[in-house]
Structure 1
Amino acid sequence: MPLKSYLFVALAFVGLTLTACSKKGAIEPKPEEEGLKAVLENVAEGQFSAAPGSSYTFQVKVTSKMPEMGVNVKVDAITDPGGIVFPQNPVATSKDSIINITLVGLEPIRTVKVSLTITSAGNEKNSIPKVFWITNKSDE
């Protein structure tokens, strides 16, 4: 008789242990960010655009779901041909879907290749490149 009562207690203990362990649940993986998608407005992406002066403002419009930590935009402007770098103001991390960017220091009658890299602030592997050319059409 004592063996039956020990067996019952042992089975009850095992059952409670299994039940308690299964209630914790599995750790769910963090969902991945949606791949970034963006369009450029007020410039012709991959083509030539004209600036009326030494500065020009255009927009990056993020069309995908905005990453939780926002996006960074890196701007490089280099003469084409020639390879002279025109330093540009840094663009702050943004959580807005429309980001205004102003190119500065555009010389008269000179074409500049503008390269943008749009990157998730929380995942540097989630990035997209954009390129266009712009010419300052003023003669001053």
Structure 2
Amino acid sequence: MPLKSYLLPVLALFALIFSSCSKKDSGTAVKPSEEGLKVSLANVTEASYTAAAGSTYTFQAAVTSRLPTNGVTITVTAVTDPGGINIPQNAVAPSSSGAIEITLIGLEPLRTVLVTVVITSVDNPDNTITKTFWITNKSE
């Protein structure tokens, strides 16, 4: 008999626990996911060495995937290798087109530089791609 008297409160407790654990809608709109960025670099050899004929060098980054609605931002860093000395680069304007022209500056003669290009979606900062290559100014 005592078991029956506890059965109803225990079942009611389980019902409260399971109903409170249900997922609640926060009311925020879910952003549609965008296609992951795919980028190719022209006039350089990705993840390898490229030769420059002077202190500046221009190359292109082409977004080959579907371009995000508000475009992409581009960050370029150049660091001597070896040495790790940062070579300041001009800012690259955000782009809404698939073709982006990037000009490296301050390349010292006979010095190898590791260049890192980071392209990020304006709409989704988690959608990013990083490309690297080395470049050497072959002029004397």
Tell me the TM-score range normalised by the shorter chain. Answer: 0.7 to 0.9
Match of 2:79 in 1: 78
Task: Give the Cα–Cα distance (whole angstroms) in 1 for the partners of residues 91 and 29 of structure 2.
Answer: 37
Q: Please report how far the alpha carbon of residue 31 of structure 1 lies from its aligned counterpart in structure 2 after TM superposition.
A: 1.9
**Which runs of structure 2 are paired with 1:1-140 in the superposition (5 Å)?**
29-139=30-140
Task: Give the Cα–Cα distance (whole angstroms) in 2 for the partners of residues 97 and 66 of structure 1.
Answer: 7
Question: Is the partner of 1:49 in helix, strand or coil?
Answer: strand
Task: Give the Cα–Cα distance (whole angstroms) in 1 for the partners of residues 32 and 125 of structure 2.
Answer: 16
Task: Give the Cα–Cα distance (whole angstroms) in 1 for the partners of residues 83 and 31 of structure 2.
Answer: 46
Amino acid at match of 1:103: L
Task: Give the Cα–Cα distance (whole angstroms) in 2 for the partners of residues 73 and 47 of structure 1.
Answer: 20
Amino acid at match of 2:64: T
Task: Give the Cα–Cα distance (whole angstroms) in 2 for the partners of residues 119 and 113 of structure 1.
Answer: 20
Structure 1: segments with no counterpart, 5+ residues: 1-26
Once the two structures are superposed, residues 69-108 of structure 1 have per-residue CA deviations (whole angstroms, 9 ceiling, x without a partner) of 1001100000000011100000111011010000000000
Q: Please report how far the alpha carbon of residue 30 of structure 1 lies from its aligned counterpart in structure 2 after TM superposition.
A: 3.4
| TM-score of the superposed pair, with normalisation by structure 1 | 0.78
Match of 1:10 in 2: none
Question: Is the partner of 2:126 in helix, strand or coil?
Answer: strand
Amino acid at match of 2:97: D
% identical equivalent positions = 58
Change (3 A) 1:68 1:80: same
Task: Give the Cα–Cα distance (whole angstroms) in 1 for the partners of residues 111 and 29 of structure 2.
Answer: 54
Q: Please report how far the alpha carbon of residue 29 of structure 1 lies from its aligned counterpart in structure 2 after TM superposition.
A: 4.2
- The structure with the larger Rg is 1
Match of 2:14 in 1: none
| TM-score of the superposed pair, with normalisation by structure 2 | 0.78
Question: Is the partner of 1:92 in helix, strand or coil?
Answer: strand
Task: Give the Cα–Cα distance (whole angstroms) in 2 for the partners of residues 117 and 95 of structure 1.
Answer: 16
Q: How many residues were matched structurally?
A: 113
